[in-house]
Amino acid sequence: MRKMKIGITCYPTVGGSGVVATELGKLLAEKGHEVHFITSSTPFRLNRMYSNVFSHQVDVNSYSVFQYAPYDIALATKIAEVIKNENLDLLHVHYAIPHAVCAILGRHMAGSDIGIVTTLHGTDITVLGSDSSLKEAIRYGIEKSDVVTAVSNSLRDQTYDLIDPDQTIETVYNFVDERDYHVKDAGSLKNELGIQENEKVVIHVSNFRKVKRVGDVIETFYRIRQKVKSKLLLVGDGPEMSRIQEQVRELKMEGYVLFLGKRDNLSELYNISDLKLLLSEKEAFGLVMLEAMACGVPGIGTNIGGIPEIIESGKNGYLVELGDTEQAAMHGVELLSDNEIGSRLKAGAIETVASKFHSSRILKEYENIYERLLNKG
């Protein structure tokens, strides 16, 4: 495989699409490629030093005439500059809006014909795709990209349905860095969090937006708690937080639900957990489910979006219909109270990550796409 110079644009702050883009950049660098992040700030997961990873920050002019600072134009200009100055071979942008459109404009500004790969992550289609002020721009970004990938078959199909682009969309699944996410000893963390050894741990991680249905997570846990001695870890923060805190108070569950806020040490938290709940109404993939499974935590997830492409009922967790907290709790109780079932699903979770979503496999798929693009040019 020839060594390439790859420009990557993504949202650098917390969020699945930025995590995947950054982890991919790191793996590409470890394979000897030169990686240039072109973003509004240094990606938060870029926590190791690499001699062949560079971060180019977009400067936005806040001239007083502008009612809104022109970030998209500034990003396109920076992309053009990096294409020329660094002699890039290709661009890989994550999230259609505005990144795909900026990449196309930047390439044009640079007078270049390098290939553009756009990866769709979910809300760029499932939420923004029905906004009439953005739909045409999303279609344009998809059609003018050279290769378009989606993080699940479900998102690929939804993109065809909602946007109807004249473009082929390939599925490339997400992955986790197995060096961080694996089964390990979490030391005294359980004890430090005030959880007794004989208590089971249920975990939910999200940005607490409405689509995540955290209320259903609380309801499910409420039912589980009536049968199994357990605690619920809520990790993350977002607009629904105060409503959720109120729900927990109303159910008199304050002593059993731990609000941990935003955390970096997710793999340690997963390693004290026995069950992961992801009961969203929209989820193009569900990276947090994969992270948990890599740490040996089986999941209960809704039968929507990309979740059924990760969870196989009875093998590595269970699928339930949206809003069916009774069924979710029934499976939760079964999994947490029957050691044989718990261990089988745990082994299934680890096996699924290793066979279907291994980082080496996904990295190869992206490298093959890049290689194909370079051969075409």
Q: Which residue has the tokens 């970030």?
A: 71
Q: Is 146 helix (H, G, I), strand (E, B) or coil?
A: coil
Stretch binding ligand GMT (CB under 6 A), from 24-32, 197-205, 255-263, 276-284: 276-284
What does 270-286 look like in DSSP terms, one character per residue? HTT-SEEEE--S--SS-
CA–CA separation, 223 and 219 (whole Å): 6
Stretch binding ligand GMT (CB under 6 A), from 9-17, 71-79, 192-200, 258-266: 9-17
Binding mask 206-245 for ligand GMT (x = CB under 6 A): -x-x-x----------------------------------
CA–CA separation, 311 and 298 (whole Å): 9
Q: Least distance (Å) from ligand GMT to the CB of residue 299?
A: 13
Q: Identify the CA nearest to 88 among candidates 46, 117, 121.
A: 117
For 277, half-sphere exposure in the C-beta direction (CA atoms, 13 angstrom radius) is: 35
In the window 106-135, what residues touch ligand GMT (CB under 6 A)?
Answer: 121-123, 126
CA–CA separation, 191 and 246 (whole Å): 26
Q: Least distance (Å) from ligand GMT to the CB of residue 18?
A: 6
CA–CA separation, 139 and 338 (whole Å): 49
Spell out the alpha helix ranges (H) of 65-132: 71-86, 101-109, 123-126
Radius of gyration of the chain (CA): 21
Q: Does 98 bind ligand GMT (CB under 6 A)?
A: no
Q: Does 151 bind ligand GMT (CB under 6 A)?
A: yes
Q: Which of 9, 17, 118, 325 binds ligand GMT (CB under 6 A)?
A: 17
Stretch binding ligand GMT (CB under 6 A), from 12-20, 175-183, 247-255, 346-354: 12-20
- CA torsion angle for 120, 123, 129, 132 (degrees, to 10)? -130
Q: Which of 33, 36, 276, 282 binds ligand GMT (CB under 6 A)?
A: 282
Number of residues this chain uses to bind ligand GMT (CB under 6 A)? 19
Q: Does 99 bind ligand GMT (CB under 6 A)?
A: no
Q: Least distance (Å) from ligand GMT to the CB of residue 301?
A: 11
Q: Does 287 bind ligand GMT (CB under 6 A)?
A: yes
Q: Which of 39, 145, 158, 174 binds ligand GMT (CB under 6 A)?
A: 174
Residues in contact with 189: Cβ distance below 8 Å, sequence separation at least 6, in sequence order:
268, 269, 271, 272
Stretch binding ligand GMT (CB under 6 A), from 10-18, 77-85, 253-261, 321-329: 10-18
Q: Does 148 bind ligand GMT (CB under 6 A)?
A: no
Q: Does 12 bind ligand GMT (CB under 6 A)?
A: no
For 11, half-sphere exposure in the C-beta direction (CA atoms, 13 angstrom radius) is: 14
Residues 91 and 115 sit within 8 Å (Cβ to Cβ): yes
Q: Least distance (Å) from ligand GMT to the CB of residue 289?
A: 8
For ligand GMT, the closer CB: 344 or 356: 356
Q: Is 62 helix (H, G, I), strand (E, B) or coil?
A: coil
Q: Does 15 bind ligand GMT (CB under 6 A)?
A: yes
**Binding site residues, ligand GMT, CB under 6 A:** 15-17, 20, 121-123, 126, 151, 174, 207, 209, 211, 282-287
